[in-house]
Structure 1
Amino acid sequence: MEREHAERFEPLPGRAGHVGGIESLTFDGHHYYFGFDYGSDIVLSPLIGDPAAMAAFASAHMRQTTGAHDRDHWAGLVDAATGRSALAAGADLAFTTEGLRGDLPEPGSHLLYLLGAATGWDDWFGESPEARRACERLGLDDEDPEFIDQCLTEVRDHGVGARPDDWTVVRLHLGAAVRHLPGNWGILFAPLAEGLANRS
């Protein structure tokens, strides 16, 4: 049974064998678990809704500082992560299709952190010269991880039409983040991209 559970989910590309722990979130009321490398701030697994499958996946594809562990060890960590997180708390752990589609992320939010961690903190401005030029006009350093927070603040406070360069950065940066999400992360968080397109 453990092998069947593990084989239901493939490791994310290049992330098998990492040292990490178990994190969780809810999406439209459904609970999901995922592996997380706290040392590198990267997501290690797809979003897995079955606790037994998460434990089996972790046993097959993850490690801890003490080495490999069996399913029972990981099952305890999965249970401890249910409804809790070392990364965020409370409402920050809950996402909905309606919320992603209808609201822009809060600056500095757990959502923005998860987008970066799931994509491996990739830099997408190479594929978006328009966003890079908008950053330059705004005097922003696109290598500063907080540049998106400033643009989101301006757009949320003043509106899309009043801050076209800030909106360009937000729209293209977050849209690229969703496109680069691995595995079923991209499926669940696709409504964020839909919401961005509806505002344009």
Structure 2
Amino acid sequence: MNTESATRYEPLPGRVGHVAAVESLTLDGRRHFFGFDHRSDLVVSPLIEDPDAMAAFAAAHLRQTDGPHDPAYWAVLVADAVDGSDLVGDNADRTFTTDGLRTGLPEPGGHLLYLLDAATDLDVETGLPADVDRACGRLGHAGPQDDDFADTVDHCLETVIAHGPLHRPDEWTVVRGHLTAAIAALPGNWGLLFGPLAEGLARID
């Protein structure tokens, strides 16, 4: 194991000691691993490209239900995460490109939005621009303070994809405001995946 690469990743603030599995995604043909607490729907590690580093990180900062394990144990789970996932059944759903993220919008209710919600530190009740709440009110949809706000975002995203941002300005305000704030609140290096999406959102008027 490469000791230097295995120790260069800092844990995410407040996300140490979770009972977690190992998941992975591919960005521009490069696989990245990460820890995931399925019981809490929570990302619990940075994106880690080196399998040895992922195994070492998990041994140091994550647990299984029976407690901590050594890197050799975690290396098996890392290898399994290449072809298998407990989050999605289709590998295409966890395969992304920078160009695709920069030029398109995420699928409503899709894996990309799920990962964003699981990774971000955003508090939707207090961390969104005021115009998002006002747009929700004009649309008659649940606002950031409501439990159904995630459904509001999905509905607005579907509408924007179908009709275009210029034709649905209130829906676009909700989508862009929420996604931009959520991406800005990402911990660690999760901007590797979501940074291009933020760039694309910023370019759409």
Within a 5 Å distance, the mapping from 1:37-186 to structure 2 comes to 37-88=37-88, 89-120=90-121, 122-123=123-124, 126-142=127-143, 143=146, 144=148, 145-186=150-191
Return closer, same or farther for 1:125/1:158 CA change in 2, 3 Å cut-off. farther
Corresponding residue pairs, total: 200
Shift of 1:139: 1.1
8 Å contact kept, 1:19–1:62:
yes
Segment drifting more, 48-57 vs 2-11: 2-11
CA deviations over 1:94-123 (Å, ceiling 9, x no partner): 011101111111111100000000015631
8 Å contact kept, 1:2–1:71:
no
In the alignment, which of 183, 199, 204 is matched to residue 199 of structure 1? 204
Q: Which runs of 4+ in 1 moved over 3 A?
A: 1-6, 124-127
Secondary structure of the residue aligned to 2:10 is coil
- Code of the residue aligned with 1:71 in structure 2: it is P
Shift of 1:161: 1.1
8 Å contact kept, 2:157–2:175:
yes
Match of 2:7 in 1: 7
Q: Distance in 2 between matches of 1:176 and 1:48?
A: 24
Q: Distance in 1 between matches of 2:204 and 2:83?
A: 32
Q: Distance in 1 between matches of 2:127 and 2:119?
A: 19
Match of 2:22 in 1: 22
- Code of the residue aligned with 1:52 in structure 2: it is D
Q: Distance in 2 between matches of 1:171 and 1:106?
A: 14
Shift of 1:124: 5.7
CA deviations over 1:161-192 (Å, ceiling 9, x no partner): 11100000001111111111111102332110
Secondary structure of the residue aligned to 2:55 is helix
Q: TM-score, normalised by structure 2?
A: 0.93
Q: Distance in 2 between matches of 1:43 and 1:151?
A: 25
Gaps of at least 5 residues in structure 1 are: none
Q: Distance in 2 between matches of 1:70 and 1:40?
A: 23
Report the aligned-residue RMSD.
1.5
Return closer, same or farther for 1:64/1:2 CA change in 2, 3 Å cut-off. farther
- Code of the residue aligned with 2:98 in structure 1: it is T
- Code of the residue aligned with 1:139 in structure 2: it is G
Q: Distance in 2 between matches of 1:188 and 1:126?
A: 21
8 Å contact kept, 1:118–1:181:
yes
Q: Distance in 2 between matches of 1:159 and 1:192?
A: 17
**Identity score, percent:** 58
Gaps of at least 5 residues in structure 2 are: none
